Chains A and B, each alone.
Chain A
Amino acid sequence: MDLTIFLQLIISGLLIGFVFSLIAVGLSLIWGVMDILNFAHGEFLMLAMFTSFFLFAQLGIDPLYSLPIVVIVLYFIGAGTYRFVIKPLLGYTVLIALLATFGLSILIRNLVLFFVGPNYRVINESILAGKTFSIGGLYFSVPQSVAALLCILVTYGIYLLLTKSKFGRALRATSLDKDTAMLMGINTNRIFEITFGIGAACVGVAGGLLVNFYAVFPEVGLNFTVLAFVIVALGGFGNNGGAFLAGILVGLVTTMGGFFIGPEYKYTLVFLLYLVVITIRPKGLFGW
């Protein structure tokens, strides 16, 4: 097999992998702090992509410039979800919260379907879209490279936020032991809301960048939800660093598998990987 093709595949896998990572880190944050699996995560991504798309199609704002708007919108969608859907359920078993987010995902997906229809929408003429550059005979898609770069930066930013800031300390204390954190004067409610907001903002970044090279349609979130779950589980419960690495791995597996075995089996492969990993290493690839 041709080495160039192989390298090219690795590059594509890595580039999309970084985007997966950011999406998964957003999910992992919420999961780790609240032990809630947010089923609407993929729908948040879809909303981010549509926000960006319509800002471009209706107002002519390039996705690159509208990124901050998308992120802010998504932050509030996340925080709002927490306040109106999750918070009332905190006293019940996690099962209820899980079902609630599941219902929310159906609601969002079909509302969007109702208002904009099932069509695929693509952005062809933005600053980034459709451009490529090459290094040493290898081609790089510009929108994918920019997306990967920004996703790495944001993930790193979140890492700093968690480890270095006062908020990060409060968040970690809360995720370890909610009651004790509350006794120590931490407003856990506020922490949860912000965490949900940040988790959603992460997919805001990812979605705002994805529109440059990925078709937008109401069902786009579904596959990303599955992928994000699997990535988080691979990385290990609440382990954001693990989620980051697992995202890259899944990016490589989907790209390679899609090429060698067939694109229709991409998710089957990822899922098989998941099954094997949790059977051998239940705490995830990177947990102890």
Chain B
Amino acid sequence: MQSAKQFTSIFGGVLVLFLVAPLIIRDTQFQHLMIMLLLFTTLSQAWNLIGGFAGQVSLGHAMFFGIGAYAAMAPLNQWGLTPWIGMAIGGLVAMVAAVIVGYPVFRLKGHYFVISTFAVAEVVRELFSNWDWVDGPIGLDAPLVEQGWRNFMFYHTKLPYHYTLLIFFAVVMFVAFRMERSRMGYYFRAIKQRPEAAQAMGVNITLFKQYAFIISAFFTAICGSMYGLYVLHIEPSTVLSLDISIKIVLIAVLGGIGSLWGPLLGATILISLQEYSRIWLGGTGRGIDLIVLGALIVIICVYEPNGIVGLIKRFSRKKRKA
């Protein structure tokens, strides 16, 4: 585990970087990249809480993401409700969904949790695709409303999105940092490594898995809300898709599962790669990027299951020995 001092200095540096970067570089393409980077780092760190720290792999985080996106967009679209309330509702609904998905399976050993997350995500997508109120498969567009913080709509600048996401990012990083060295963090790691031994130490593993999942779902939903408001159009096949779930997981895996800085490292590489490769290769509709993603997951798992963080550790250990 990193020392608190080390963490604070790196964290401070990263925050300053994200604070000034969009002010200096005004290129919208770059600003977009930064926003995606913050978004996916936050998402992936949220996933990391349950998947990395507690070791309960969820392959259905798109359901929370989508719930968040719809909760902010649909009431705004239909009633003109401020998306901040929508966002809060989305967070709550996602937490309830996490209980519904988690409660029946967290008591059980084995792969039941993965199956549930994977299947429920599909079910949720199916349900939204058939739900008339949110225009089924067509999805929703952001209404043309007055700009500003109340509607969280800005037509000429990306900065509000950037800084709001920066706050989310900071909060989630801080939560993860505090959690890692609290009782809860120890319990999560114990559950991941030896669930039985954890139980013998008095850990209610069902409950703590549930905590991890609820917290994770909440942050994921909030990110989903932000995403919808930023891209202005959502539909089941984007915000509820397996692709979203995959990307969230992959970033954590690439960076290093269960490590504090893994998501940021993973997202930096993957999101830049993706945004630029989309410009070069994109538009074929034949999923070259997904081929690369799939191959990456397999390769990382086989050669360095601890991701980039694992590589760095291995490298620095060698250097110390030499």
Contact = CB atoms under 8 A, between A and B. Distances in A.
Contact of B301 (A100, A267, A275): A100
- The A interface, classified by DSSP as helix, strand, loop or mixed, is helix
A257 to B, nearest CB: 12
Contacts of A92: 305
Nearest to B242: A222
Contacts of B122: 222-223, 226, 267, 271
B104 interface: yes
A229 B242 CA distance: 16
Interface stretch (B85-93, B106-114, B200-208): B106-114
Nearest to A276: B104
Interface stretch (B10-18, B34-42, B125-133, B181-189): B125-133
B123 A106 contact: no
28 contacts: A89-B305, A93-B55, A93-B192, A99-B253, A99-B301, A102-B246, A102-B249, A103-B298, A107-B291, A107-B294, A107-B295, A108-B294, A110-B287, A110-B288, A111-B291, A114-B287, A222-B122, A223-B122, A229-B111, A229-B118, A229-B119, A233-B115, A264-B126, A268-B123, A268-B126, A275-B104, A279-B104, A282-B107
Interface in A1-55: 31, 35, 37, 39
Given A37-B114, A99-B253, A265 B126 contact: yes
A282 B108 contact: yes
Given A37-B111, A94-B111, A113-B287, 10 more contacts: A93-B192, A96-B301, A102-B246, A106-B293, A110-B291, A223-B122, A267-B122, A267-B123, A268-B127, A278-B112
B90 to A, nearest CB: 21
A171 to B, nearest CB: 19
Size range of the chain B interface in the assembly: 35 or more
Nearest to B296: A103
Given A88-B302, A110-B287, A110-B294, A271 B119 contact: yes
B105 A278 contact: yes
- The B interface, classified by DSSP as helix, strand, loop or mixed, is helix
Interface in A220-243: 222-223, 226, 229-230, 233, 237
